[in-house]
Amino acid sequence: MATNYNLALAVYRHSLTTPDAVAVVSRGQSLTYGEIAARAASLADGLRRSRAWQCRERSPLRVGILASRGIDACVALLAACWAGAAYVPIGLKLPEERTLTLLSLCDLSAIIADEDGARLLTERLLDACPPIVIHASRTPLSARDDAVEVLSMASLPPVTVVEPTLMAAHETAYIIFTSGTTGVPKGVVISSGAARHYAAMIAERLGLRSSDRALETCELGFDFSVHNMFSTWEVGAALHILPATTVMNAVKFARTSELTVWNSVPSLAGMLRQVNALKAGSLAGLRITVFGGEQLPEATVTAWQSAAPNSVIVNLYGPTEATVFCLAQTIGQPLPVTPGRGVLAIGTPLPGSAAKVVDEDGVELADGTAGELAIAGVQLADGYLGAADLTASRFPVIDGQRWYLSGDVATRDAAGNFHCFGRIDNQVKVLGYRVELEEIDAHLRLVSHVDVVGSVAWPLVDGMARGIVCFVGVPTIDADRLISDLKARLPAYMVPNRLIALAEMPLNHSGKVDRRALHRLLDTDAA
Ligand code: AMP
């Protein structure tokens, strides 16, 4: 019998074996595995029965998810999987033009919107929508065009839960859009084989258990959410979704929800440390902490170890193009730091993945030499949606194997551990000198004792940077002292001309420091 790679399969299996176990909790509501399977199967049935789905000749099937993190979002994406379609998260905070661009790029078969998402469905957007829209709005919605069938989730009848549609390993599980340097978003296409491999592999590597209660802090458009949902559901555990409005109360949330597994970007921990929320022993209930998605500062780890003394900490590294995370470093003693950077090593490839450091010609470099990190293995994306040339250039075949060129500067040390220094595109020329902005960040963290910082090359004159401006994520700073401390550590051309205290650091949709927004702040200020 053919193997079913449907991403919803684990949820289906737990709905048969442990139907009363909690699958997801959000804003005081929860669904058991039995309930979430019933809701997803009913929604999937609604998709399949719709006029447009039945007469659709073209494949593949893709369902856009217009929802903020919460129970409806989980049900919606599971329903898309159940019906044999790929799910495509569409952010709620995008300007309408960008949403229209996404809709035109991804040729959706349907859209499922939660209540927040449905509010965005203006007549203009509905005109651009695929032929089926299923929504959770309490107020009726209708499209001007009869060709668009608009159904309310509440109107869908219960159905007998059957196994999610058989999906082959090569069929698409999800498409996540990341920002493209050209300004056009890039849709990263991840196969069901890659996604299922990731969920099973990482649940085993972390030693997750059905009794775990795991944290969700991400929106669907950030692929860390794939880790959070599907590693938790792989083992039949419960996912606790932190509402976007209570992020700074994450420690309290973890305590009241009795969380055992923490998943977040390090910036969240850094912000909690800054507001003194990380008291010694305050997260004693945690047994596993997953940090991933950006550099993990040493100071964050030290504070975390005291707040969560019973937790193993794992630093996970990976680009969306390699299905969430593909390298891992378990944090032991002494801390596996990246020399001179104050951040933690990214470790070694996870089962099924391979990594090497290459030069501009794709030739592997010796240990200790910095180059671009290349990744291979079962988790590699199929490529970028509708962008064959870009796919071919970022996923070259080297010596008969397909690799993804990550755009990260890295080295491998003599013990075989990889270290990530930051993005190649954060490598700037300041007055002719090559500077890595992450390196300045690292020193600034040390002298300011603030984890959330961001450096930018500014002003740019004819594309060349004249200097550096650094932002520190606190309300006030002693700029003169910090600059003199930095002068003691950095060559003159790397010392910022200006330091700015910014109580609310702009973060991108993944919760990482948004350097573009920092640039905009400076441009507006100068204008
Ligand atoms: P995204 O595709 O949005 O998940 O971003 C992937 C990028 O985030 C990588 O290419 C790295 O630059 C960065 N990144 C992810 N995880 C880590 C990590 N553990 N340490 C350092 N950088 C990371």
How confident is the model over 500-510, as pLDDT tens digits? Answer: 999 999 988 77
Q: Can you give the pLDDT at residue 509?
A: 77
Q: What is the mean pLDDT of residues 24-34?
A: 97
Distance (Å) from CA 249 to ligand 1 centroid: 25
Distance (Å) from CA 293 to ligand 1 centroid: 4
d(CA 57, CA 51): 12
CA angle 426, 202, 214 (to 5 degrees): 90
The number of helix segments (H) and strand segments (E) in the chain equals 16, 32
353 lines ligand 1 (CB under 6 A): no
What confidence category does residue 147 fall into, taking pLDDT thresholds of 50, 70 and 90? confident
448-469, pLDDT tens digit by residue?
999 999 999 998 766 567 889 9
Kindly report the protein residue whose alpha carbon is nearest to atom 21 of ligand 1: 295
Q: What is the mean pLDDT of residues 295-314?
A: 96
Distance (Å) from CA 424 to ligand 1 centroid: 12
Q: Can you give the pLDDT at residue 6?
A: 98
Which is more confident, 431 or 265?
265
CA angle 365, 423, 519 (to 5 degrees): 155
d(CA 499, CA 445): 13
3-state class (DSSP) for residue 323 = coil
Q: Can you give the pLDDT at residue 50?
A: 85
DSSP 122-170: -HHHHHHS-SEEEE--SS----SSTTSEEEEGGGPPP----PPPP--TT
Residue 433 predicted with pLDDT over 80: no
d(CA 388, CA 90): 22
- Enumerate the β-bridge partners of residue 239: 24, 214
Residue 490 predicted with pLDDT over 80: yes
Distance (Å) from CA 315 to ligand 1 centroid: 11
Kindly report the protein residue whose alpha carbon is nearest to atom 1 of ligand 1: 319
Q: Can you give the pLDDT at residue 229?
A: 98
90-130, pLDDT tens digit by residue?
988 877 887 888 888 888 999 999 999 999 998 888 888 88
Number of the ligand 1 atom closest to the C-alpha atom of 291? 19
Residues 6+ apart with CB under 8 A from 420: 295, 317, 338, 343, 346, 373, 408, 409, 410
User: For 266, phi and psi rounded to 5 degrees?
Assistant: -60, -30
Kindly report the protein residue whose alpha carbon is nearest to atom 13 of ligand 1: 294
Among 41-45, 92-96, 103-107, 416-420, the least confident range: 92-96
Distance (Å) from CA 263 to ligand 1 centroid: 15
Whole-number percent of the chain with pLDDT over 90: 73
Distance (Å) from CA 408 to ligand 1 centroid: 8
Kindly report the protein residue whose alpha carbon is nearest to atom 6 of ligand 1: 319
Q: What is the mean pLDDT of the chain?
A: 92
**Which of 267, 337, 408, 441 most suits a substitution to test ligand 1, by most atoms within 8 Å of the C-beta?**
408
Q: Can you give the pLDDT at residue 181?
A: 46
420 lines ligand 1 (CB under 6 A): yes
Residue 164 predicted with pLDDT over 90: yes
Residue 393 predicted with pLDDT over 50: yes
Closest by CA to 216, choosing from 242, 187, 237, 196, is 242
**Which of 219, 228, 317, 516 most suits a substitution to test ligand 1, by most atoms within 8 Å of the C-beta?**
317
Which is more confident, 325 or 430?
325
**Which of 189, 289, 294, 419 most suits a substitution to test ligand 1, by most atoms within 8 Å of the C-beta?**
294
294 lines ligand 1 (CB under 6 A): yes
295 lines ligand 1 (CB under 6 A): yes
Q: What is the mean pLDDT of residues 300-322?
A: 97
Closest by CA to 29, choosing from 80, 76, 72, is 72
Q: Can you give the pLDDT at residue 58?
A: 56
178 lines ligand 1 (CB under 6 A): yes
d(CA 37, CA 50): 20
Q: What is the mean pLDDT of residues 12-26?
A: 98
Residue 302 predicted with pLDDT over 70: yes
292 lines ligand 1 (CB under 6 A): yes
32 lines ligand 1 (CB under 6 A): no
Number of the ligand 1 atom closest to the C-alpha atom of 188? 2
Q: What is the mean pLDDT of residues 3-16?
A: 98
293 lines ligand 1 (CB under 6 A): yes
Whole-number percent of the chain with pLDDT over 70: 97
The answer to whether 483 and 495 have CB atoms below 8 angstroms apart is yes
Closest by CA to 380, choosing from 185, 170, 82, is 170
320 lines ligand 1 (CB under 6 A): yes
What confidence category does residue 59 fall into, taking pLDDT thresholds of 50, 70 and 90? low
Q: How close are the terminal C-alpha atoms of the chain, in Å? A: 66
Kindly report the protein residue whose alpha carbon is nearest to atom 23 of ligand 1: 294
pTM listed for this prediction = 0.89
326-369, pLDDT tens digit by residue?
999 999 999 999 998 889 999 999 999 999 999 989 999 999 99
Residue 239 predicted with pLDDT over 80: yes
Report all structural domains of the chain as residue ranges with CATH numbers, in order of start.
Answer: 9-168 (3.40.50.980), 192-422 (3.40.50.12780), 431-526 (3.30.300.30)
Q: Can you give the pLDDT at residue 462?
A: 60
